[in-house]
Amino acid sequence: MPELKNDPTLKDFQNYVKELEIERGFTEEDVIHKCLMLGEEVGELFKSIRKSHDKLKIDSNSKLGEIGDEITDVFIFLCSIANRCNVDIEDSFRFKEEINKKRKWS
């Protein structure tokens, strides 16, 4: 069973997800499959957030995880997609933030 390091970096999370997918037999699932599953998880996250707000109507019998659980599922699928596309999330984040720093936000 893979173990996540204490104080992991984004690279550590990506490697951990890669190892989990090998262990759990998910390596044959392609990027399109993972994108569709990510979409489902984002929907579950949104529904979980809706359920946490009293003013929004939702089926009270709806089975949903906690917001943190759903965010984690979304993150796992993002790592999985990044791994399949050979994207280092940490490097990509730093690169994109340098671009964003130069933008004018209003």
**6-54, pLDDT tens digit by residue?**
999 999 999 999 999 999 999 999 999 999 999 999 999 998 888 887 6
Percent of the chain residues past pLDDT 90, beyond the cut: 77
Which pair of tokens denotes residue 79? 């790592």
26-30 own/partner pairs: CB under 8 Å, 24+ apart:
26/80, 30/84
Helices (H), the chain: 10-24, 31-51, 67-84, 89-101
Q: Residue 58 pLDDT > 90, yes or no?
A: no
Q: How many helices (H) and strands (E) does the chain have?
A: 4, 0
pLDDT at position 52, please?
A: 80
**68-96, pLDDT tens digit by residue?**
999 999 999 999 999 999 999 999 999 99
How far is the C-alpha of 58 from the C-alpha of 52, rounded, in Å? 10
Domains assigned to the chain? 10-101 (1.10.287.1080)
How far is the C-alpha of 29 from the C-alpha of 69, rounded, in Å? 22
